[in-house]
Amino acid sequence: MRFKLRGVLAIVALSATIGAATVGAGRADPATLASAAQGSSTYNYALAVSKAATEVQSMDLRPQPYDSTSQASAFVNSGEVDFGLENAIAVQDAYLGRGKFADNRLDGLRLVARLVPMRMALGVRADSGITSIADLRGKRLPAGFAQAVTGETLIGAMLAGGGLTYDDVENVTVSNFTSMAEAFVAGDLDAMIHVIGTPRDEQVSKDVGGLVPLPLPADPAVDAAIKAALPVASTYELQPAPNLTTIAAPVKVLQYDYFIYTSASESDANVEALLKSLAGGKDTMVQSVAGLAWFEPDAMNVDIGIPYHPAAVAWFKANGQQP
């Protein structure tokens, strides 16, 4: 059973609009932006960024979906795809040749901009009776994530915040984040990674009669445990907001940065056009993805140990953005 994707017709229409645009600088060919599969959180990000590129710079930027963002990294590294969306953990692993990239280091990758702090929690059905991470002992959680670098890492970090490990839960194999969401809606999982403020999880919540985030305990020891498991992550006290339908009360969640990246061979013109689109397109992007309200146009230059594309370095310098 696949979860319903609200607004499919709108997405198709938006994709058609994006595809029809032309680059103001005279480029005939479209640029591409890799994401995970259609309906995923990052695909929705890609649609939002592409819409901003069209409206702000008349840039023909088209989402290019893959089974996972990690799968797309090699295509961006080779220049077959212009840009990609990836989290700090996975893009570090790819550039440095760690983890699943140990035998295939992608040292041609270059950062373009920090897009947004992605905020998440372990989400459960509203009627599940599960109210804390500790209640997940013995429950069915997604595992494996053969096509995604960060799935088990994120869940492991959040379980650690509740004093649990993967050994304390029943492991259900999924291939990526999309199959995880489908398994959760189908009733095969008791919890999933809930990426807050994304159209995908807003729809999951509707499909299951309510999706509730499990709070991380307010304890400095929890922060330390998460930092040990996931050095690039931190915790954040998220407040309710009208556009966050799954957040009914303040909740402590996990957050870590998502980036737009490219290859060293990407054209300066494309990189500059995309940065200008981001700088001027926040309102447009928020219309598509509520969580992009957390995007900070004046804080796109964040140092995570990976070099930025030369055109990005020049743009940040010209616009007064220090790392």
On average, the pLDDT of the chain sits at 89
User: β-strands 31-35, 61-65: how paired?
Assistant: parallel
Q: How many folded domains does the chain comprise?
A: 2
**Mean predicted confidence (pLDDT) in 20-26:** 39
Q: Are 297 and 278 in contact (CB under 8 A)?
A: yes
Closest Cα partner for 116 from 239, 231, 235, 259? 259
The residue type of 219 is D
Residue 312 is encoded by which pair of tokens?
A: 């990005």
In sequence order, which residues have a C-beta less than 8 Å from that of residue 307 and are 6 or more positions away? 110, 111
Instruction: Give the 3-state secondary structure of residue 111.
Output: strand
Which DSSP state fits 266? S
d(CA 190, CA 319): 47
Last residue of a domain, which of 233, 256, 279? 256
The answer as to whether 167 is a domain residue is yes
In a domain, 207, yes or no: yes
**Domain containing residue 146: CATH number:** 3.40.190.10
Query: Where would I find the H helices in the chain?
Result: 8-20, 41-57, 69-77, 88-96, 151-161, 177-186, 199-208, 220-229, 268-280, 282-288, 310-318
Last residue of a domain, one of 235, 256, 277: 256
Q: Is the pLDDT of residue 309 over 60?
A: yes
Closest CA to 112 of 310, 319, 255: 310
**Judgement on whether residues 25 and 94 belong to the same structural domain of the protein:** yes
Answer yes or no: do 182 and 271 share one domain.
no
211 and 125 co-located in one domain:
yes
CB 255 within 8 A of CB 29: no
**Residue type (1 letter), 258:** Y
Q: Which three-class secondary structure state does DSSP give residue 132?
A: coil
Q: Tell me which amino acid residue 63 is.
A: P
pTM of the model: 0.79
Let me know if residue 323 belongs to a domain: no
Q: Are residues 93 and 242 in the same domain?
A: no
The mean pLDDT value for 187-201 works out to 95
DSSP code string of 168-180: GSEEEEESSHHHH
Confidence of residue 187 (pLDDT cuts 50, 70, 90): very high
Specify if 169 maps to a domain. Answer: yes
Tens of pLDDT, residues 262-292: 999 999 999 999 999 999 999 999 999 988 9
Tally of CB atoms within 10 A around 303? 11
| Residue 1 domain flag | no
Parent domain of 109? 8-116+257-318
pLDDT at 18: 42
Does 10 score more than 70 pLDDT? no
Domain boundary (229, 256, 283) is at 256
Confidence of residue 39 (pLDDT cuts 50, 70, 90): confident
* C-alpha angle 298-302-303 in degrees, rounded to nearest 5: 155
